[in-house]
A and B are shown apart, each in its own frame.
Chain A
Amino acid sequence: DGGITQSPKYLFRKEGQNVTLSCEQNLNHDAMYWYRQDPGQGLRLIYYSQIVNDFQKGDIAEGYSVSREKKESFPLTVTSAQKNPTAFYLCASREGHSGNTIYFGEGSWLTVV
C-alpha cells in the first residue's frame, strides 16, 4: 500500500546527542514536510522540501537539520542545539504544483532522558 513510513515510533535521546528520524514515502510526491507537535498543541512547521536537493526552513527550524537526497526520503536530525526536543514529530507529503492534499505519517515520539 502507498503511504508514509516514519521510524522509529519512539526514540529516547540523551542530553547532547544528535538523533535522526526517518521518513519514507512511496506516493511519488514531490513535496515533503516535518512538523512538530507538543502535547495539546497544534502543528508547527520545521522544514519542508519541494524537490530533491532543495529544502526551506519553516517556522521553528533552529536546532534541526534535514536532507533530501532522494525523492522518497526526507530524514530529520534533531541536534544538540535544540534545547527542548521532547515532542511528537510528524512527517507529511504532498503532490507537486497540482496537488492540494497533504498526507501524514504515523508520527514519532522523541523524549530526552
Chain B
Amino acid sequence: AQSVTQLGSHVSVSEGALVLLRCNYSSSVPPYLFWYVQYPNQGLQLLLKYTSAATLVKGINGFEAEFKKSETSFHLTKPSAHMSDAAEYFCALRGGGFKTIFGAGTRLFVKA
C-alpha cells in the first residue's frame, strides 16, 4: 500500500535558521513526490516535485528537497527561514489511478 508520513505536526524555527520538514513514503512503484504549501484560508500551492529526474529538486521561495530511495524519504529544506515561510506544508505521493496521497501536514512557525 502507498502512504506518506510527515514527522512532526508542528515545527518551530527562528528567523534565519535552517528549515527541515520530514517526509517518508511507502510505494511499490517508482514514486512521484510533491511538496505543497498552504497559507491561511488559501488553497495548496505547489512548491516542488520529484519525477525521477534529478534527486535534488529545487522549488520556489528558496526551498529544495532531496529524494533518497534507500531511506524512502523526501525531506524539505530551506537554508534560512523567513517570517513569510510560516504556513502549513504537505508532502504528497502520486497514488494508483488518479489519486494523490497527502501527508497529514506540518505547520511551520517562524520566530523573530
Measured in the bound complex, the distance between the Cα atoms of B43 and A6 in whole Å is: 10
Given contacts A100-B32, A107-B42, A107-B43, contact A45 B104 (CB under 8 A): no
- How many B residues have CB within 8 A of the partner chain? 23
Q: Range of interface residues on chain A?
A: 20 to 34
Determine chain A's interface SS by DSSP, over half rule. strand
Contact A50 B46, beta carbon cutoff 8 Å: no
A40 to chain B: closest residue by CB:
B107
Q: In angstroms, how far is the closest chain A Cβ from the Cβ of B106?
A: 10
Q: Interface code A78-91, partner B: CB below 8 Å = 1, 0 otherwise?
A: 00000000001010
Q: Interface code A21-53, partner B: CB below 8 Å = 1, 0 otherwise?
A: 000000000010100000011110100101000
A63 at the interface (CB under 8 A from B): no
Chain B residue contacts of A90, Cβ below 8 A: 43-44
Contact B99 A48, beta carbon cutoff 8 Å: yes
